[in-house]
């Protein structure tokens, strides 16, 4: 799989060998945006067009388009894990937020 970005919207692309077409889907929002193309040039244009169509559709409906992730999310954890994580952050001398983001950043580079 390959990734593409346009206006902060990130998409993954796959190739269907049987149909000989590239398929893409925006992955960093809950709304569904898909696109396809038979060449790289066509795929890139379809991606941009799909994002622009999504933005225009939202505007027509008077809705704000969903923005790619805000950087905030809620994590539910067992109270004992919560306590252990807070203790680990305090031992490291950083805020809980800093400890979690540092740990997630390290883990996501695996």
Burial 75-100 (b: 16+ CB within 10 A, else e): eeeeeeeeeebeeebeeeeeeeeebe
Q: pLDDT exceeding 70 applies to what percent of the chain?
A: 99
Average pLDDT value for the chain = 92
Position 19 scores a pLDDT of 93
Domain count, the chain: 2
In a domain, 43, yes or no: yes
In angstroms, the CA 10 to CA 28 distance is 6
On the question of pLDDT at 110 being above 70, the answer is no
In a domain, 71, yes or no: no
In a domain, 68, yes or no: no
With beta carbons less than 8 A apart as the criterion, state whether 42 and 49 touch: no
Range(s) of the domain holding residue 38: 2-60
Q: What is the pTM of this model?
A: 0.65
In a domain, 72, yes or no: no
Same domain, 55 and 96: no
In angstroms, the CA 29 to CA 38 distance is 25
Span 13-32, mean pLDDT? 92
Same domain, 6 and 46: yes
Same domain, 6 and 54: yes
* Residue 32: Cβ within 10 Å count: 8
Half-sphere exposure of 28 (CA within 13 A, CB side): 16
């Amino acid at each position: 799989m390959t990734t593409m970005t346009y206006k902060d919207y990130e998409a993954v692309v796959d190739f269907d060998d049987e149909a000989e077409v590239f398929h893409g889907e925006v992955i960093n929002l809950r709304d569904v945006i898909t696109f396809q193309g038979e060449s790289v040039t066509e795929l890139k244009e379809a991606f941009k067009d799909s994002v622009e169509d999504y933005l225009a559709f939202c505007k027509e409906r008077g809705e704000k388009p969903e923005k790619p992730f805000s950087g905030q999310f809620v994590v539910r954890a067992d109270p004992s894990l919560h306590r252990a994580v807070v203790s680990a952050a305090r031992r490291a001398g950083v805020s809980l937020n800093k400890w979690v983001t540092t740990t997630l950043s390290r883990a996501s580079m695996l």
